[in-house]
Amino acid sequence: MYTHSKQIVKDGAAIGEAKKAIVMLHGRGGSAEDIISLKRVLNINDMAIYAPKASNNSWYPYSFMAPANQNQPALNSALDIVGQVVKDIEAAGILAENIYFAGFSQGACLTLEYTARNAKRYGGIIAFTGGLIGEEIAEENYGGDFDETPIFIATGDPDPHVPVSRVKESIAILERMNAFVTFAVYPGRQHTISSPEIQLANKNILSA
């Protein structure tokens, strides 16, 4: 088993000049540079971009729906790394309401898990194929109020890694926490990020 060290790739606007920031979380087998490359199509170039690197290119070793203890200590370490990044951004003077999150696959699951465990008004959250983590969702892990934070979640149906049923279960919890969720399902779509998803993310989360 493994943990993560704090290794952050930064891009976009300089943190001292930016009014907004985004935390980008790559998928299993991906890299910080991979997820940052979405800046070519997402409306984030005026933001400070922070993309942490996972050890072994994986935030946790097994499926996000494996028993929680099987993904430890990597999962807790990953959540801690994201928390450290958020604190760094806030220390630079950017408020939570101007902090955004985006992740793909395993990174989307981590994005939703971190923000649900630390719910408050954020700028917006994008989860390209992801759901809350655990063999069963442990609602006692989640508290706080999203205060109508906009969240966009997209997935294929079927998806080889993320069941639509888990995505819908996650959305129900996020909405109970006062998130404003937009959800898109793409029948037959492969495990990737499609152009329509990018367009909806820009429209619903990144248009302000």
Q: Under a CB-based contact definition with an 8 Å cutoff, are residues 141 and 112 in contact?
A: no
Per-residue pLDDT tens over the stretch 134-157: 999 999 999 899 999 999 999 999
H helices of 31-181, in order, are: 32-36, 74-91, 106-117, 164-176
**Residue 188: exposure state from Cβ atoms within 10 A (0-12, 13-18, ≥19):** exposed
Quote the pLDDT of residue 188: 86
Task: Give the dihedral sign, CA 188/58/122/173.
Answer: positive
Quote the pLDDT of residue 3: 98
What are the residue ranges spanned by the domains of the chain? 8-204
Query: Looking at the domain that runs over 8-204, which CATH code has it been given?
Result: 3.40.50.1820
Task: State which residues of the chain have pLDDT below 50.
Answer: none
Residues in the chain: 208
Give the position of tokens 């003077």: 93
Quote the pLDDT of residue 208: 64
- The Cα-based distances of 60 to 56, 57, 79, 143, 186 in angstroms read 9, 9, 10, 23, 26
